[in-house]
Structure 1
Amino acid sequence: MSPGTDREVGGIVYCSGPLFCPEELGGMTAIARVLEESGFETFLPQRDGLEAYVLPLVNSALNIKAGPVRPFINRAIFCLDMYQIVHRCGSVVVNLNGRVPDEGAVAETAVAFALGKPIVMYKHDARTVFNGMDNSMITGLSPFRVETLEEIPVALRRARKQAGSCSFAPCSQGALPSEMQKAVEFGARVWSFLQGLNRLGGGRRVADELIDEIARLCRDYPVTDSPG
């Protein structure tokens, strides 16, 4: 999470978008970079969230150990990201590039919309020209849409100005539906754990500790399979 001068007037910017291949990771890094160079502080899941630890496990021997607790890890990722959007981040920049927008990014943006947070939509994808606009249920989430990286900080400042300072404040206790409140509270616990983990650096020991601790935390937040 990179510091910036705009945190005091609008909170951290949540960078939402796809992160499952090198090209997608590079695109998200570019979005965070242009914001940080413009003075904003960002939360980039692939760098600052559980994804930073989980994605490298996919092609490693530790993936075998992680397999049985994968439902717990998925739950922890969801709850941590909800905590960031609801409580820590004042606005969202969403990357809509791709044949279709990333499903997780759409869900995150919808949550931000429901909370009244400023949203900027970035899309620079030739497939839009051929296939038309994205679904109106997506484009309707924000009037602030840009096609170049350089436009993102300008659009975000405009979106924040229009929304007003009240949109940047965390939601008060009891203001959320009970299940969302439960997820946010669990996400806060995961975030606290990650802060300690970050101080240990990387390596197999950290990955092992991550898997064990996520499983322990999730005993208080059970994940059940859907009936088959």
Structure 2
Amino acid sequence: MKKRKIYIAAPLFNEGERAFNERIDAILRDCGHETFLPQREGGCVADLPDMIEGMPKRKYLFKLDCAHMDWCDTLLFLFDGRVPDEGACFELGYCYARGKDCIGYKTDARSFIDGYDNVMLHGAPERVLHSEEELRDFFMAEDC
């Protein structure tokens, strides 16, 4: 198994989302991979001081996240939600454009259009996983 550096692109704006993200992060770490989880590394914008390292907090978080998207070799994009998170959509496009491995994860039955998500979002991931078991199996595989 190759050890991956995984950026987890997901919504993080309520307790349920953050708990779900932490569970996914734990699975990936248990599989032996390094992860970047924005809520852990940068925090939530509402909880931060207005200025960080001489920058407005939003600019600081943007730069921090971009640096870690450059660091990663794999992006895990969490589709779950009524519609996918806008920030995660940006992160998916950024990593796809830089040739990173992009993997989707969707356990939510809701979709944008008649059972389908936006074609631009489904075009970027190499594959979309649908359960914790499938996630664990994929990231434990020798050739992942």
TM-score under structure 1 length normalisation: 0.55
2:94 is aligned, of 107, 111, 131, to 111
Task: Tell me: CA distance 1:132–1:90, structure 2 relative to 1, closer, same or farther (3 Å).
Answer: same
Q: What is the CA-CA distance between 1:153 and the residue it aligns to?
A: 3.8
Displacement over 4 Å in runs of 4+: none
Q: In structure 2, what is the equivalent of residue 168 of structure 1?
A: none
Q: What is the CA-CA distance between 1:56 and the residue it aligns to?
A: 2.9
Give distance in 1, aligned partners of 2:135 and 2:46. Answer: 27
What percent of counterpart residues are identical?
32
Please say which structure displays the higher CA radius of gyration.
1
Q: What is the CA-CA distance between 1:45 and the residue it aligns to?
A: 0.8
TM-score under structure 2 length normalisation: 0.85
Give distance in 2, aligned partners of 1:127 and 1:17. Answer: 16
Matched, 1:27 2:11: no
Matched, 1:56 2:40: no
Q: In structure 1, what is the equivalent of residue 66 of structure 2?
A: 82
Give distance in 2, aligned partners of 1:91 and 1:130. Answer: 27
Matched, 1:43 2:36: yes
Task: Tell me: CA distance 1:83–1:130, structure 2 relative to 1, closer, same or farther (3 Å).
Answer: closer
What letter matches 2:59 in structure 1?
Answer: R
Q: What is the CA-CA distance between 1:137 and the residue it aligns to?
A: 0.6
Q: In structure 2, what is the equivalent of residue 102 of structure 1?
A: 85
Structure with greater helix percent: 1
Q: What is the CA-CA distance between 1:130 and the residue it aligns to?
A: 8.2
Give distance in 2, aligned partners of 1:149 and 1:141. Answer: 21
Runs of at least 5 residues in structure 1 that lack an aligned partner in the other structure: 1-5, 58-62, 163-228
Q: In structure 2, what is the equivalent of residue 179 of structure 1?
A: none
Structure with greater strand percent: 2
Is the 8 Å Cα contact of residues 97 and 123 (structure 1) preserved in structure 2? yes
Per the alignment, in what secondary structure is the counterpart of residue 28 of structure 2?
helix
Q: What is the CA-CA distance between 1:157 and the residue it aligns to?
A: 6.3
Give distance in 2, aligned partners of 1:152 and 1:15. Answer: 13
- Number of residue pairs matched by the alignment: 141
Is the 8 Å Cα contact of residues 83 and 111 (structure 2) preserved in structure 1? no
